[in-house]
Amino acid sequence: MTHTTVIAGVGPGLGASLARRFAEEGCQVALLARSGDSLHDLAADIDAETAGEALAVPTDISDREAVVEAFEAVHEAFGDVDVLVNHASAAAWDGLLDADPENFRRALAVNVEGAFHCSQEAVPDMVEGDGGTVIFTGATTSVRGRENAVGFSAAKFGARGLAESMARELGPEGVHVAHVVLDGMIRPPGAEPDEQYLDPDAIAEEYWKLVQQDRSAWTLELDLRPHVEEF
């Protein structure tokens, strides 16, 4: 089945892998990120190399009006949204005593408020239609605060809370909300395969599986980590 998918927060790593994986299934994929040129290049590659379509929509998702305009562009190009991936992240790696208040606010604005803005624009299509899926990209710090990362930890905790609240509200409306804990480092673009890293293409495959789940057995939280001998 073809889905209109919005991926909020597309970079050269996992965001690009998610976009390609969904497009391989014939989905219409809208790519949201602050960057411009690289986003358009990725959209062109997807159009040329996959069965799907891609639309680059440069957007600062922390800006409410920018998000509204972005979804207007998505609706005009592709119609109603079936899948939203809240993937954007921003944070400085600082402890409490060194943290800049503006950087702290930025972390919350992108990770939490950005996901809130995008969800408010996408979910009405799902509720009024045949349902849909909203996936949040989380991290180890979503469930366990990290030393010297107060902004990132607070933001990821906040996004997880948003996801859980939405899941309970929207499940009866046919909207599957899932939170993915990425418990490990993601392999950087261009790096050789290495067991210590999560493979971005493998992660993207798991996101696609979430979209395909039957309503009788939805995943609320998915925990992914690279192969290690001990946890």
* Any domain includes 56: no
- Residue 208: which domain range? 4-48+62-224
* Any domain includes 55: no
Q: What is the pTM for the complete model shown? A: 0.95
* Any domain includes 229: no
**pLDDT of the residue at 228:** 66
* Number of domains observed in the structure of the chain: 1
Q: Which helix (H) or strand (E) holds 29?
A: strand 28-33
pLDDT digits 0-9 by tens, 101-158:
999 999 999 999 999 999 999 999 999 999 999 999 999 999 998 898 999 999 999 9
**pLDDT of the residue at 77:** 98
* Any domain includes 130: yes
Which ranges of 109-213 does DSSP label H, i.e. alpha helix? 114-128, 150-170, 200-212
CATH number for the domain harbouring residue 107:
3.40.50.720
**pLDDT of the residue at 231:** 46
* Any domain includes 219: yes
Q: What is the b/e burial string over 69-83, where b = at least 16 CB atoms within 10 angstroms of the residue's CB?
A: ebbeebeeebeebbb
| Confidence check: pLDDT of 227 > 90 | no
* Any domain includes 140: yes
* Any domain includes 54: no
* Any domain includes 192: yes
> Using alpha carbons only, what angle is made at residue 165 by residues 214 and 222, rounded to the nearest 5 degrees?
50
| Phi, psi dihedrals of residue 138, rounded to the nearest 5° | -110, -170
Q: In the sheet that 4-8 helps form, which strands lie side by side, from edge to edge? A: 53-58, 28-33, 4-8, 83-86, 132-139, 175-182, 221-224
Q: Please report the DSSP string for 99-136 in residue order.
A: --HHHHHHHHIIIIIHHHHHHHHHHHHHHHTT-EEEEE
